Structure 1
Amino acid sequence: MKSRDKILIIGGYGTVGSIVSRQLAMRYPSKVIIAGRNKDKAVHFIREHGLSASAIYMDIEMGDFQEVRFDMIHTVVNCLETMDMSFLLECINLNINYTEVGASFETHKRFFELSEYIDNGQGLVIPSVGLIPGLSNILAYNGAKEFTEVREIHSYVMLGLGESHGIDSIRWMLKKTNSAFKIKTKKGKVSVRGFTNPKSTRLLNEKRGRAFYLFDFSDHHIIPLFVDVEAVDTRIAFDSRLVTKLFHLFQKTGILKWYERLNPKQFKRVLDFLPIGSERFALQVEIMGCDSLRMSQKAVYIVTGDNEALATATVTSFAAELLYKNTELKGLKHIEEILDFRELVKYLEKHNITIKNERGYENNTVQPSGKPRDYGVIG
């Protein structure tokens, strides 16, 4: 029996955190501790779902974690977007395994700043897990291994407007919709802005294309760190083509600057009230390059499901289990470096999240059957 055998889930009753808490509490009864700024909510959540878990008060932003029994914690799963350093440093210092959901590169850079310190410890740290970044990086990394030369990697995420989104994710989206950032192109680094540069792409599970717009998810910053690629970017669309177009028009006319100042709670009420969109999501990653014969090739991976938060949480739970079962690895590791991809595919399938791909010459990516093949049958 481990002297430290608890899994601490920060924000464990939020939109993503609640799913992580249920998944891990079912797998590891009595081992999960759900932490947040409202302990009563955590207690109610545990009772409502009949979980074998405990609850504590914790405010990571205010540095208030007096109720945390560090001597009991084996693995920490942070489900909040945060710039916290003090709690992270405490975990590193005490050799506690750590992972977190983080969509922005600003949060990801904290780990690079501490990389030497992390690598000198005995704990294992996995930054930025979830759907995008996280799964998008995994697909890019695994797909690139099939090429001798990688020229371009493009990620496309379609989000369902009918899904119930958390306050923190809405706050982050509002902040990023009008942000300026840089992307890597064949002509070098280029400054762009969110919801610009439309590109029509057909998702493998759809019959016609839709417009996707540049967006500052952190995966396009992280992928070039592991893959030698000439150009990489990430684009976004909503399942409603009309709403996607409206966001682009708001960007062009400057209305998005006003949207940034909206109260996330008010914006959430509008989204929850409007009868538009669905809960379905899709993440498609396209890798273009050359094979060993110098022939231009293209590989396309797609992840589909009915709940983006579920996909984000499931990848997070997978990462948490890697940490909890780990006995050998230590230091700073990205999830794409250490996972077994086929094990991840099986893990996601249990929650009705599927990964498929197509591969072929750059102008003919469909397999001879005309249908995408499950990743599991591709060598």
Structure 2
Amino acid sequence: MTTAKCGGGAVLVVGGYGAVGVTVTRTLAGWFPDRIVPAGRDLARARRLASEVGSGRAARVDVADSPGFARVLEDNRVGVVVLCVEPPDAAIARACLAGGVHLVDVGASHHLLAQVDALGEQAAARGATAVLSVGVAPGLTNQLARRAHEEVGGADRLDVTVLLGSGESHGADAVRWTVAQLAVPAERRAGGGTRPRRVALPGYGIRTAHPFPFSDQHTLRRTLGVPEVTTRMCLDSAPLTAALFGLRRAGAFRAARNSYARRVLTSALTRVHLGGEGFAVRADAFGGDRHAAYALTGSAQSRVTGLVAAHVTRRLLTGGLPAGVHHLDQLRDLASLPENLSRYGTTLWTPDALQAAS
């Protein structure tokens, strides 16, 4: 297996001043002073953050402008790109990997991740590494699913549950993405099971989680070879969860397929702060008569997603990750991330701990 070259050059954090990107920028700037370049469409915001973290550089980047993006890579001698906003297609990833630039992608849309997956041979040939499914969900969910899968000796079915804090100030991109997924037709929505599921989440009791098209339900079928994978979601506010998914069943989100309606719904949901900032993720694996589950809880999902991306980037900069395109759960060198994040207030729940807590 080819190992990627150590990440020389600057680190371009695209969306570096957003809800996720600001954590990436600040964390990496603490480890690698003078190498971090916050970037986005608002150059003034990028420059202000660069000044705050002691970086001498910032850049204007529009992910819909791939020629302009390529110029930014060259002008700043970029070695690693951390992508904290979702581009319209794989052109940004293609520009990175063709130029031998490493990529850390926080994106969560399966169709885009599949396009980047297809660039594996190109990345390997250039000695570049792309790490996908980087964050809480997908990301830590993938890692917990792998642990549960291995615990049962190979799962026939995986159930992944995500509880998000409805009181957290999620970034506009994240809310926009959520609205788009709520509008996905039922026949395209579920990767496995189609029914809600009652599940115990540490600190939150028994919750009803509803099928939701996170990308890991597609990715894990391939990376783990599990035939049935379903991802479900709920909010920490049970009434808000019931209202949200009740509206989906009633077809209220069909209008979100229209761009104007999507903007209106995104704006409305961005203002809703009825719960707290905590989150919980859980992965259950079923293999024959065996069952195992792992969970992780914490606060401020956007911040923890940024921390995951920062740790992955640091590993790239210090070398050792294989060249090519990989999802987080495929990189054994990063398998200890759930434990390493405990210093930031997260808690990893093993099967024994979950059983004791139930």
Scaled by the length of structure 1, the TM-score of the pair is 0.84
Alignment map for 1:323-342 (pairs within 5 Å): 323-327=316-320, 329-340=322-333
Describe the superposition over 1:301-323 as per-residue Cα deviations: whole angstroms up to 9, x where unpaired.
11111101012111111211121
CA–CA separation in structure 1 for the residues paired with 2:129 and 2:341: 23
1:111 pairs with 2:104: no
Instruction: Give the CA deviation at 1:297.
Output: 2.2
SS of aligned partner of 2:163: strand
Rg larger in structure: 1
Task: Report the more deviating stretch, 85-94 or 103-112.
Answer: 85-94
Describe the superposition over 1:64-108 as per-residue Cα deviations: whole angstroms up to 9, x where unpaired.
223333672221111111233333222212211111111110111
Find the counterpart in structure 1 of residue 302 from structure 2: 309
Q: Is the 8 A contact 1:20 1:314 kept in 2?
A: yes
More helix by share: 2
After superposition, the Cα gap between the structure-2 partners of 1:50 and 1:324, relative to the gap in structure 1 and judged at 3 Å, is closer
CA–CA separation in structure 2 for the residues paired with 1:53 and 1:311: 26
1:283 pairs with 2:276: no
Q: Is the 8 A contact 2:297 2:348 kept in 1?
A: yes
- Give the alignment partner of residue 258 of structure 1, picking from 255, 260, 274: 255
Scaled by the length of structure 2, the TM-score of the pair is 0.89
Q: Which amino acid aligns with 1:315?
A: V
SS of aligned partner of 2:46: helix
Aligned length: 348
After superposition, the Cα gap between the structure-2 partners of 1:242 and 1:279, relative to the gap in structure 1 and judged at 3 Å, is same
**Over aligned residue pairs, what C-alpha RMSD do you find?**
2.4
1:54 pairs with 2:57: yes
CA–CA separation in structure 1 for the residues paired with 2:331 and 2:7: 25
- Give the alignment partner of residue 201 of structure 1, picking from 194, 199, 202: 199
CA–CA separation in structure 1 for the residues paired with 2:151 and 2:334: 14
Task: Report the more deviating stretch, 218-227 or 119-128.
Answer: 119-128
Instruction: Give the CA deviation at 1:265.
Output: 6.1
Q: Which has the higher contact order (CA 8 A, sep 6+)?
A: 2
Describe the superposition over 1:238-297 as per-residue Cα deviations: whole angstroms up to 9, x where unpaired.
11111111112212222222355566665555445445111111111111225xxxxx22
More strand by share: 1
After superposition, the Cα gap between the structure-2 partners of 1:62 and 1:263, relative to the gap in structure 1 and judged at 3 Å, is farther
After superposition, the Cα gap between the structure-2 partners of 1:255 and 1:265, relative to the gap in structure 1 and judged at 3 Å, is closer
Structure 1 unaligned regions, length at least 5: 291-295, 373-379
After superposition, the Cα gap between the structure-2 partners of 1:342 and 1:335, relative to the gap in structure 1 and judged at 3 Å, is closer
Instruction: Give the CA deviation at 1:352.
Output: 1.1
Instruction: Give the CA deviation at 1:205.
Output: 2.8
After superposition, the Cα gap between the structure-2 partners of 1:264 and 1:304, relative to the gap in structure 1 and judged at 3 Å, is farther
Instruction: Give the CA deviation at 1:330.
Output: 1.2
Find the counterpart in structure 2 of residue 43 from structure 1: 47
Q: Is the 8 A contact 1:161 1:271 kept in 2?
A: no
Instruction: Give the CA deviation at 1:206.
Output: 3.0
1:131 pairs with 2:124: no
Alignment map for 1:159-170 (pairs within 5 Å): 159-170=164-175
Find the counterpart in structure 2 of residue 100 from structure 1: 105
CA–CA separation in structure 1 for the residues paired with 2:126 and 2:7: 18
Find the counterpart in structure 1 of residue 24 from structure 2: 20
- Give the alignment partner of residue 150 of structure 1, picking from 155, 158, 165: 155
Q: Is the 8 A contact 1:161 1:279 kept in 2?
A: yes
After superposition, the Cα gap between the structure-2 partners of 1:102 and 1:214, relative to the gap in structure 1 and judged at 3 Å, is same
